[in-house]
Amino acid sequence: MLQARCCLNQKGTILGLDLQNCSLKDPGPNFPQAQTAVIIDLQANPLKDDLANIFRGFTQLQTLILPQDVSCPGGINAWNTVTFYMNNQTCQGQRNLCNSTGDQEMCPENGSCVPDGPGLLQCVCADGFHGYKCMRQGSFSLLMFFGILGSTTLSVSILLWGTQRRKAKAS
C-alpha cells in the first residue's frame, strides 16, 4: 500500500521509504520511526558521510540506496553487496555481525549478542541478570532504589525546611 513516499503493509508498518532528491543533509529526528523499513532510497541528497548511528535499530533493512559520495553505514563489511553506479551506490543484504566477527568473547558470560542495525550490535543480558557486564543476578530492586531515594529526599527536605524556618523566625 503506497502512502506519499512510503510503502506500508496492511498494519501500517513502513516497509519502504523513498526519500530521493529531498535535499536532506541528515534524515532528521523522526527517522527512527522507519526502523521496520526493508528498503530506503536516499539518493540525490546532500547527506553528511557519517550515517552509522542514524541507522541504529534498523535490523530489517536489506537495501539502502545512497549518494555516491556517502559510504554505507557500518562500512563495506556490514553488507553482503555494495554496488557503485554513476549517481548512487546500493548497499544490499545487511550482515549479522554477531555471526561474522568470530569473537566469542564479544559479550559477557551472561549476555548474548544481537544485531542493532548495519555494522552495529549490542549485548543483551540473559534472563535473571542485569547491570554492568551482566554480572548481577536477580532483578533490579525498584522498591529499594526508590525507597532509599524517597527517604533521602524527604530527610533533606525536612532538614532544609527546619533551617529556613529558624531564619524566618529570627527576622
Partner residues linked to 89 by β-bridges: 66, 84
pLDDT of residue 89: 95
Residue 101: is its pLDDT beyond 70?
Answer: no
Query: What's the grid cell of residue 70?
Result: 556517502
Q: What share of the chain in percent tops pLDDT 90?
A: 48
Handedness of CA 156, 162, 168, 171 (dihedral sign): negative
**Pairing state of beta strands 14-18 and 39-41?**
parallel
Q: What's the whole-number mean pLDDT along residues 55-73?
A: 94
Q: Indicate the SS3 state at residue 72.
A: coil
Q: What's the whole-number mean pLDDT along residues 45-53?
A: 83
If you count them, how many residues does the chain have?
Answer: 171
pLDDT in tens, 115-157: 999 999 899 999 988 888 888 887 777 888 899 999 999 999 9
Domain ranges of the chain: 5-99, 141-168
